Amino acid sequence: MSFTATKFPPSPLPLTSRSNDKPLSFSFHHSKPNHSSSFLGSTRRLTPLATPHARRTPSPSPPSAVLLQQASNLLVTKEEGLELYEDMILGRFFEDKCAEMYYRGKMFGFVHLYNGQEAVSTGFIRLLKKEDSVVSTYRDHVHALSKGVPAREVMSELFGKATGCCRGQGGSMHMFSKEHNLLGGFAFIGEGIPVATGAAFTSKYRREVLNESDCDHVTLAFFGDGTCNNGQFFECLNMAALWKLPIVFVVENNLWAIGMSHLRATSDPQIWKKGPAFGMPGVHVDGMDVLKVREVAKEAIQRARRGEGPTLVECETYRFRGHSLADPDELRDPVEKEHYSGRDPITALKKYLFENSLANEQELKSIEKKIDEILEDAVEFADKSPLPHRSQLLENVFADPKGFGIGPDGRYRCEDPKFTEGTAHV
């Protein structure tokens, strides 16, 4: 299937339904190596009345960030560019380190790596304030890192140590951080979307009922293409649009749900179209290009902050590794993989920074070195951290441990200091 820009007429996004598109062809392999005409992202603004400006310029070389043709402003300043680069490198190196540790037997279970999708996480989350919330799926390591959870804590959580961000009780798929407002980490797909809707509801409630008029916290919900066929997705799109909740639904469409191609699972594969069906803008963006993602993210987040309601952003991206470290990844066509690895977001950003003289090789190398050190420290910290003690077993089952009830002796079970170790009688 080819997502050519010709399918998206350059007009402001109407909130009403559109006439039928041409059915997309099912053969991915026909896409040509010249990608200047494809994946040019959204040519429409989020505010329907603004006129779109042409964003495309025929680029002579394979995909890279597109320069704006209007004012000579670049999309990012040097500091911002380096910050984005550092964040993406952190994500990429961390995930590679995870794979290394997994094969060394330091972590177990299901580990889902984010290689290739860093542009989405960095593009969106680096725009948030600390009070804004992020809800993710099982592919959440990099979302946690982008949101600000220290690499040490994430690594020790993966090792199952007591110093992990969830005390070792969550694991790879359940990263939480109250301090950084990372609301998880969910194993079942679609499960986090209602939670994100609830966090956005709290933000609106604070503003309107508790009269905290400066509360403009935004929630981002990340999920994949497979989730977009799930009932919770649609139910929450409805509720968020109905009550104009400050939430952005970010679809990381990496075209595959384990071994199920998006095209084989979805009647209308263009996910962004499902937004207008519920009364919110639906935007499609090239998720391999962090600057494009960032531009779209800025508008979507600002829209939510202003109280105008939710947005559905479909980021077309790709995961370079399998679904998880246990996935042999035999179904995906090597041609497809090669195509996308040629569009590595980190390479693309690097190219942009060089071409616009925002950074030189040395600065980027020093960033990479810094990240290497951070990760080494993280692994060492995780290695040295203690495993959880048995007394931790039942400690966090209840926020109020009176919930364990009254024992035969008349005292609350939690009054017994050893009860958290668990007994047969609990």
Partner 1 sequence: MATLCQGLGVVIPLSSSNSSNFRLPSRRSISAWKDGIFVVRSDARVSQVLKTGGPNHELLIPNAVATKGGSSVASTSKPGHELLLFEALREGLEEEMERDPCVCVMGEDVGHYGGSYKVTKGLATKFGDLRVLDTPIAENSFTGMGIGAAMTGLRPVVEGMNMGFLLLAFNQISNNCGMLHYTSGGQFKIPIVIRGPGGVGRQLGAEHSQRLESYFQSIPGIQMVACSTPYNAKGLMKAAIRSENPVILFEHVLLYNLKERIPDEEYVLSLEEAEMVRPGEHVTILTYSRMRYHVMQAAKTLVNKGYDPEVIDIRSLKPFDLYTIGNSVKKTHRVLIVEECMRTGGIGASLTAAITENFHDYLDAPIVCLSSQDVPTPYAGTLEEWTVVQPAQIVTAVEQLCQ
**Tokens 């095209």 sit at which residue?**
263
99 is written with which tokens?
């794979």
Candidate ranges 69-77, 206-214, 285-293, 378-386; the one touching partner 1 (CB under 8 A):
206-214
Question: Within 367-396, which residues bind partner 1 (CB under 8 A)?
Answer: 395-396
Q: What is the DSSP letter of 351?
A: H
**Tokens 């009932």 sit at which residue?**
231
Closest approach of Cβ 425 to partner 1, in Å?
7
Under the binding rule (CB under 8 A), the answer on residue 398 touching partner 1 is yes
Question: Within 91-130, which residues bind partner 1 (CB under 8 A)?
Answer: none
Under the binding rule (CB under 8 A), the answer on residue 59 touching partner 1 is no
CB of 412 within 8 A of CB of 422?
no
Strands 260-261 and 256-257: antiparallel
Under the binding rule (CB under 8 A), the answer on residue 194 touching partner 1 is yes
Among 232, 253, 266, 311, contact with partner 1 (rule: CB under 8 A): 232
CB of 219 within 8 A of CB of 284?
no
Closest approach of Cβ 78 to partner 1, in Å?
36
CA 245 to chain centre: 19
Nearest to 65 by CA among 296, 286, 337, 253: 286
Under the binding rule (CB under 8 A), the answer on residue 214 touching partner 1 is no
Under the binding rule (CB under 8 A), the answer on residue 150 touching partner 1 is no
Closest approach of Cβ 24 to partner 1, in Å?
29
Question: Cα–Cα distance between 149 and 158 in angstroms, integer?
Answer: 13
CB of 190 within 8 A of CB of 219?
no
Under the binding rule (CB under 8 A), the answer on residue 208 touching partner 1 is yes
- For residue 285, the cross-strand partners are 315
Among 115, 137, 197, 311, contact with partner 1 (rule: CB under 8 A): 197
Under the binding rule (CB under 8 A), the answer on residue 149 touching partner 1 is no
Candidate ranges 142-150, 234-242, 335-343, 349-357; the one touching partner 1 (CB under 8 A):
234-242
374 is written with which tokens?
């951070």
55 is written with which tokens?
């964003």
Residues that bind partner 1 (CB under 8 A): 133, 135, 164-171, 174, 176-178, 183-188, 191, 193-206, 208-210, 231-232, 235-236, 238-239, 242, 395-400, 402-410, 412-413, 425
